Amino acid sequence: MAANFWTSTHYVNWIRNAGTIQVEMNALRIRDSEYFTEEELISLQVYFAQFISTLARKAGLRQRIAATATVYYKRFYMRSGFVDHDPRLVAPVALYLAAKVEEHTVTAQKIINQLNLMYKGEHSYPYVVADIYDYEFMLISELDFDLVVFHPYRALMRYCSGSPLNSILRGAWAMVNDSYRTDVCMNYPPYLIAFACIYMAGSLDNMDMDTWMEKMNIEPGELSEVIRAISSVYEPGKTGKETSTLQLGEALEGKIQARFADRQKRKQEERQGKERSMEQWLRKDKGAAEPSSKGSKP
């Protein structure tokens, strides 16, 4: 893995070019808005970030892998539309790929097994192992093969462990985890996200964080932007009956199902047709390979 964040593809290709990518994404969101409302599009980001975290936990994968997968998911939809690619497939594929990159490989079958358990409700999980394999290559391509991701966890440990801030490490760590439900990981360097979470956790613990911030020579303006973005995770929902963003995401499952049901059915029929053709070819090839018994000696 690249040792220097500032020369890595994470910074050079994604954070430094965030403005250009945002313009491209805005064009995609216009098309998405023909099917999803603005509120629903926000929920698709938040809900599936939580979805990835839950799936990772059920599959026995570390939070860091879930964080990497969430970044992959967000990057993918910065260049692809929600109306064209089912997030119910993209999210687990991102986790499957992240586990490989983070050197904690999990089988696609295990991912599918966990998804089948998670989707025991009204809609069964519509995808199979072959879909994971197929979409993995598409995901890698959309990411421009930029698979190295830096996270705030290392900076968090560096500034909290063995210092007076150690008492707030657990709280700050939880806030870093929650930050992946926002877009701060796409727009700011990891160390700044770590500082924001330390500041928030320390403030909740009645520590003098302003003095700490001065000692660390942190720019207050930029830090406040990150704090404001992460704080939005903890604000109550404002969608009519105080429905949270996560609840709205769950309600979106039916809409996503309706969008991709016909496409998935056609794909399954094509796959079954190929399998039948292969079986027929194998039977025919086997028959041609067997010697004829006609005229054979006893």
pLDDT of residue 1: 46
Closest CA to 83 of 265, 258, 270, 266: 258
Q: What's the distance, Cα to Cα, between the start and end of the chain in Å?
A: 68
Domain ranges of the chain: 8-142, 153-234
Lowest mean pLDDT among 60-64, 109-113, 120-124, 176-180: 120-124
pLDDT at 174: 95
91-120 average pLDDT score: 94
pLDDT at 289: 58
Residue pLDDT, tens place only, 7-18: 999 999 898 777
* CATH value of 8-142 in 1.10.472.10, 3.90.420.10, 2.40.390.10, 3.30.1330.30: 1.10.472.10
Mean pLDDT across the stretch 184-212? 91
Mind listing the pLDDT tens digit for each residue in 199-238?
Answer: 999 999 888 888 888 888 787 888 999 999 999 888 765 4
**Residue range 56-96, pLDDT digits in tens:** 999 999 999 999 999 999 999 988 999 999 999 999 999 99
pLDDT digits (tens, 9 = 90+) for 235-294: 765 433 334 555 566 678 888 888 888 666 566 555 555 555 566 666 665 565 565 555
Which of 38-52, 139-153, 179-193, 248-262 has the lowest average pLDDT? 248-262
Please indicate whether residue 247 or residue 139 has the higher confidence score (pLDDT). 139
pLDDT at 219: 78
Supply the pLDDT for residue 256: 87
Domain 153-234, CATH among 3.40.30.10, 3.40.50.300, 3.40.640.10, 1.10.472.10: 1.10.472.10
Reported pTM: 0.83
Same fold, 8-142 and 153-234: yes
